[in-house]
Amino acid sequence: MSSSPAQRLKVEPAQAPLHGELRLPGDKSIAHRALILAALATGESTVAGLPDGEDVASTRRVLQGMGVEILEDGPGVLRIEGVEIGGLRPGPAPLDCGNSGTSVRLLAGAVAQGEGTFVFTGDVSLSRRPMERIAAPLRAMGVQVEPGPGGGLPLQVSGPVRQALDHTCPVASAQVKSAVLLAGLAAPGRTIFRAPAASRNHTERMLRSMGWPVEESEEGRVVSLVGQAGILRPLDLKVPGDPSSAAFHLVAASLLPGSELNLEGVLANRGRLSFLDWLVRMGAPVEARNESDAAGEPVATLRASFAGGLSAVEIHAGALPSVIDEVPILAVAAAHAEGTTVFRGAGELRHKESDRLQAVIDLLGTAGIAAHAEGDDLFVEGEPGLRERAPTGTYEARGDHRLAMAATVLALTTGGGEVSGAESIAVSYPAFVSDLSRLGAQLEAHGS
């Protein structure tokens, strides 16, 4: 859910290819971490290329609410004065994280380092999301943690952390992993996080770039660090473009004849580009080129052009965490593909900004595409003639930014339609509509 006024987006069926180049907003996951870790550093950090979405603004606002000094040094450039590990203190008001799960879960780990009682709140959607997954390990580290009555928000956290932990987490969640590692920075001894599959590793990479060793084994399923082992050096970082935002344009281009796109300066961390590998397997000519490096993370230009037909794939459960945010748009690609695409072990989607598993099924259903869940597996029965059949309809975004953008691409590549709840796009990518229009799409936003 966004704090912006309700908006409907009218989408015309594409009459022309998508063409051009775009610079995407900075990666949301890296931006949250850069702000939080800069606040925990010793000295002043500079972070450029921050995205202007509401989620990252929530992290910034909450840090400022805890007395962290953040100065604007130009558009998207911030200077952050670190308060050091254990230095965050509660302010006078609850810490409102808006719609942002990454803000509340990572910050809960960060505030656990020191003294004080911190209360996190958020919007209706965030308040319903499960917090016990971070509460349990933090409690085992000696922190008092109390989620709200339904297991969500308000979440109360009282540090300081007293002991390190060897934690086996039933879900492969980067947010839980990061919460445990952040608390572990202030715990005596080695904190170990074990998960059934690897998840995005930006916290680990950024900590290393700030001088704090983080060990990784079993292909990223086990991560550990030793707490109370020094200081975090300040960051000087330019946040690369967000691949999860790029995915919407790339899929649209692969579905529209004659399209050709270049998206420069995008984060190319392999764990975040898995969706590209799956699109290639489906037959889409997408690629990452000209890799360079920025603050411990690879950066590349992503290119896509028309595929001339896609075929179904089966994404296995071990690979699902690395495409977790791209499932809605991959499901749109799957709707156009020959055969049945299967997303195995996609149950975590039920706990995102909406019940994304059901929401994806309903979204595709509006276009007459059969999709269903069996347990945690999602099945999408593709229809290669979908563009010609040109279904149209009103797609309901359910306050979920990724659904709103996936629905826009679905409408664009079929018979057009309306996306209601399009204001949610501002959570991660406020310029999505203008960027897609610049590439050639015809879109019109209305208040509702």
Q: Which is nearer to ligand S3P, 157 or 386 (CB)?
A: 157
Is 199 near ligand S3P (CB under 6 A)?
Answer: yes
- Which residues inside 91-120 make contact with ligand S3P, applying CB under 6 A? 102
Is 420 near ligand S3P (CB under 6 A)?
Answer: no
Candidate segments 171-179, 189-197, 265-273, 377-385, binder of ligand S3P by CB under 6 A: 171-179
Alpha-carbon span 411 to 416, nearest angstrom: 4
Candidate segments 174-182, 228-236, 326-334, 433-441, binder of ligand S3P by CB under 6 A: 174-182
- Which residues inside 26-65 make contact with ligand S3P, applying CB under 6 A? 29
Q: Which is nearer to ligand S3P, 125 or 178 (CB)?
A: 178
Nearest distance from C-beta of residue 244 to ligand S3P, angstroms? 7
Is 175 near ligand S3P (CB under 6 A)?
Answer: yes
The encoded tokens of residue 439 equal: 């590439």
Is 354 near ligand S3P (CB under 6 A)?
Answer: no
Kindly tell me which residue out of 59, 63, 95, 200 binds ligand S3P, with binding defined by CB under 6 A.
200
Render the burial of 320-334: b for 16+ CB within 10 Å, e for the rest. bbbbbbbbbbbbbbb
From 12, 14, 18, 53, select the one nearest 32 (Cα to Cα): 53
Is 201 near ligand S3P (CB under 6 A)?
Answer: no
On the 0-12 / 13-18 / 19+ scale of CB atoms within 10 A, 249 is: buried
Q: Tokens 């209305």 identify what position? A: 446
Alpha-carbon span 433 to 442, nearest angstrom: 9
Q: Tokens 């049945």 identify what position? A: 340
Strand partners, 261: 20, 304
Nearest distance from C-beta of residue 348 to ligand S3P, angstroms? 6
Is 269 near ligand S3P (CB under 6 A)?
Answer: no
Alpha-carbon span 367 to 410, nearest angstrom: 8
Q: Which is nearer to ligand S3P, 134 or 439 (CB)?
A: 134
The encoded tokens of residue 8 equal: 């409907």
Any idea which residues carry the catalytic annotation? 325
Number of residues that bind ligand S3P (CB under 6 A): 11
Q: Tokens 């309903």 identify what position? A: 362
Q: Tokens 């450039």 identify what position? A: 77
On the 0-12 / 13-18 / 19+ scale of CB atoms within 10 A, 172 is: buried
Nearest distance from C-beta of residue 35 to ligand S3P, angstroms? 12
Nearest distance from C-beta of residue 28 to ligand S3P, angstroms? 7
Nearest distance from C-beta of residue 175 to ligand S3P, angstroms? 4
Binding residues for ligand S3P, per CB under 6 A? Answer: 29, 102, 173-175, 178, 199-200, 324-325, 348
